[in-house]
Amino acid sequence: MEILGIDIGGSGIKAALVDIKKGEFTSERIRIPTPQKGKPGKVADVVGDLVKQFNYEDIVGVGFPGPIIYEQALLAANIDDSWLGKNVKSILQTKIGNEFVVINDADAAGIAEMYYGVGQGQKGTVLILTLGTGIGTAVFYDGKLLPNIELGHLEIRGKDAEKRAAAVVRTKKKLSWKKWAKNLE
């Protein structure tokens, strides 16, 4: 079965068709920069453009940069705070028309890793970090997801951890890999 997967990120919105039985892309990945400030209407426009580019009419899976409870955004990491408390699924479905499934972006990546990657069959605690504009976190215990963990937003010396150690920080500050790894550690 093939679905369209979309990742809403702080600097880019990415999409590709995915074979969910194999866990593999079946199309090229398309990336469109996240509209400045990442407001709901503008982000939904980009998501709609991606759905149209793939000429896709079925259910769309979306990874969102923050905790999602009952389809509502509890945090909007690296996008506009006007998402807070909003029903992400409803915003996308109303604007675009397709059916949507929305989940925290790092949780989506973690589920894929646990199902298709090195996490298969792992017991105990498994921690997965996504490093991009922010730091996403997925935690599993005996293969079960503990949803919406946001370790990138732990405060370290007065700042969110991701403001010190996300991958984008390495690029912006032109840090060596060694210096960046020390910050991340």
Residue pair 175/169 in contact by the 8 Å Cβ criterion: yes
Domain positions in the chain: 2-107, 121-184
The CATH classification number of 2-107 equals: 3.30.420.40
> CA-CA distance, 46 to 61, in Å (whole number)?
15
Residue pair 88/68 in contact by the 8 Å Cβ criterion: yes
121-184: same fold as 2-107? yes
Q: Which CATH superfamily is domain 121-184 in?
A: ATPase, nucleotide binding domain (3.30.420.40)
Does the pLDDT value for residue 19 go beyond 90?
Answer: yes
Residue pair 151/135 in contact by the 8 Å Cβ criterion: yes
Q: How far is CA 79 from the centre of its chain?
A: 12
- Output DSSP code: residue 35: P
Cα distances (angstroms) measured from residue 128 to each of 78, 95, 104, 107, 112: 19, 32, 13, 9, 11
> CA-CA distance, 73 to 111, in Å (whole number)?
19
3-state secondary structure of 13: strand
Neighbour tally for 136: CB within 10 Å:
28
The pLDDT score that the predictor gives to residue 6 is: 98
Contacts of 145 (CB under 8 A, 6+ apart): 107, 110, 111, 114, 138, 139
Q: pLDDT tens, 156-168? A: 899 889 988 999 9
> CA-CA distance, 93 to 121, in Å (whole number)?
35
Q: Count of residues for the chain? A: 185
| Confidence grade of residue 183 (pLDDT, cut at 50, 70, 90) | confident
Q: pLDDT tens, 21-78? A: 999 999 999 999 999 889 999 999 999 999 999 999 999 999 999 999 999 999 998 9
Residue 151 burial (CB < 10 Å; 0-12/13-18/19+)? middle
Cα angle: 47, vertex 51, 56; to 5 degrees = 155
